[in-house]
Amino acid sequence: MTVDLPERDPTRSFQDMILTLHDFWAANGCVILQPYDMRMGAGTFHTATTLRALGPEPWNAAFVQPCRRPTDGRYGENPNRLQHYYQYQVILKPSPSDIQELYLKSLAAIGIDPLKHDIRFVEDDWESPTLGAWGLGWEVWCDGMEVTQFTYFQQMGGFDCKPVAGELTYGLERLAMYIQGVDSVYDLSFNQHGVSYGDVFLENEKQMSKWNFEVADTDALFDLFTKAETECRNALNNDVPIAAYEQAVEASHIFNLLQARGVISVQERASYMGRVRDLARGSCEKYAELKAPEWAEKYPEWSLI
């Protein structure tokens, strides 16, 4: 039995745009992962990015990561701002010499013609003190709109990336709004059958904005933060840094929720960020140290430091 699937149309369907990117990066050697099943602020937090950026082994992956930014919630009233949205994340390690060309081809695949639209690579370096990480790169502009973050990771968890990984982070809603020519994210066609982005997410934005800003029990959140911190240390003490890292991600998100609830003062803010940073860096360090002997054996020219 043969099944005829309809043609994908990334210019008229949000999900087709995502599926086209999956097709494209799968064809270029990436494993297509599903989102990490935890709340996180950016695709970079996915272990497929952070932890895999460490060590000498090649790694090529692409995935969608739902991102939670509690303070960006606008109760569904702002056409551009969301507390929950999608990033499309590609990680290529080592960074291939044709990475820019690959990226531009992926844009062409979803319907952006570089002779019709002005595509530009504008300096934008990336730094995450929380992860002990930094990289150089660009924000990619399409007719003046930032559509992608493009970064060559230089350090992660305080270690030099050896080799360097290239990271692409597409802002999916923005790109789709551009490609579909709509001014409000809620007007995006989610599929080719009349379902809009608003049908899927508007109610979610309303309720979650309310919960983030007004409802969430702050005592419980403070408690969760402390518990995540404690559990992270427990995991580190027992040499399971991946589990520890998950708790760091959890603590980071709880901190963001506390921020949205407005219960962390300016003075306390730095201290909380420092605590999250210690957890995340500690987990990355432990992971790298634990794996280093295995890596060094496979790659004699490689060393952790």
Partner 1 sequence: MADFLLELRCEEIPARMQKGARAELQKLFKREMDGAGVTTGDLTIWSTPRRLALIARGLPTATEAVRDEAKGPPVAAPDQAVDGFCRKNGVSRDQLEVREVKGRETYFAVIEKPGQAVADLLAAAIPSIIRDFSWPKSMRWGETSVSSESVKWVRPMSGIIALLDGEVVECVTEDLTSGRVTKGHRFHSEGEIEIASADDYVAKLRDAFVIVDQQERATIIRDGARDAAKAAGLTVVEDEGLVVENAGLTEWPVPLLGRFEDDFLDVPPETIQLTARVNQKYFVCEGPDGKLANAFICTANIAADDPAVVVDGNRKVLAARLADARFFWELDQKKTLAEHAKGLERITFHEKLGTVADKVERVAKLARWLCEQRIVAGDPDLAEQAARLCKADLVTEMVGEFPELQGLMGGYYAAKEGLPAEVSDAIRDHYKPVGQGDDVPIAPVTVAVSLADKLDTLAAFFAIDEKPTGSKDPFALRRASIGVLRLLEENSLRLKMHLLFERQFNDLLDHFQQSEETIIRRDVVDELDEVGALNPSKSTSFDVAEIRHEVEAPIDTGYVFELLDFFADRLKVQQREAGVRHDLIDAVFALGGEDDLVRLLARVKALQAFIETDNGTNLHAGYKRAANILKKEKWEAPDNLDGKSVSYSPETSEKALVEALNDAAPTAAKAVEEERFEDAMAALATLRAPIDAFFEDVTVNDDDPAKREARLNLLARFTNAVGNVADFSRIEG
Residues that bind partner 1 (CB under 8 A): 56, 80, 94-97, 100, 104, 113-123, 125, 135-136, 138, 142-145, 152, 154, 160-164, 166, 178, 183, 265-267, 299, 301-302
Nearer of residues 104 and 273 to partner 1, judged by Cβ: 104
* Cα(55)–Cα(241) distance, integer angstroms: 15
**How many CB atoms sit inside 10 A of residue 33's CB?**
16
Residue pair 246/45 in contact (Cβ under 8 Å)? The answer is: no
Nearer of residues 49 and 65 to partner 1, judged by Cβ: 49
Nearest approach, Cβ of residue 94 and partner 1 (Å): 5
Nearest approach, Cβ of residue 34 and partner 1 (Å): 29
Residue 31 zone, left/alpha/beta (φ > 0; ψ -120 to 50; rest):
beta
Nearer of residues 135 and 282 to partner 1, judged by Cβ: 135
Nearest approach, Cβ of residue 76 and partner 1 (Å): 16
Closest CA to 86 of 66, 111, 71, 105: 66
**How many CB atoms sit inside 10 A of residue 213's CB?**
18
* Cα(87)–Cα(81) distance, integer angstroms: 14
Nearer of residues 35 and 96 to partner 1, judged by Cβ: 96
Cα angle 281, 282, 286 (rounded to 5 degrees) comes to: 115
Nearest approach, Cβ of residue 172 and partner 1 (Å): 17
Nearer of residues 101 and 217 to partner 1, judged by Cβ: 101
Nearest approach, Cβ of residue 114 and partner 1 (Å): 4
* Cα(223)–Cα(110) distance, integer angstroms: 44
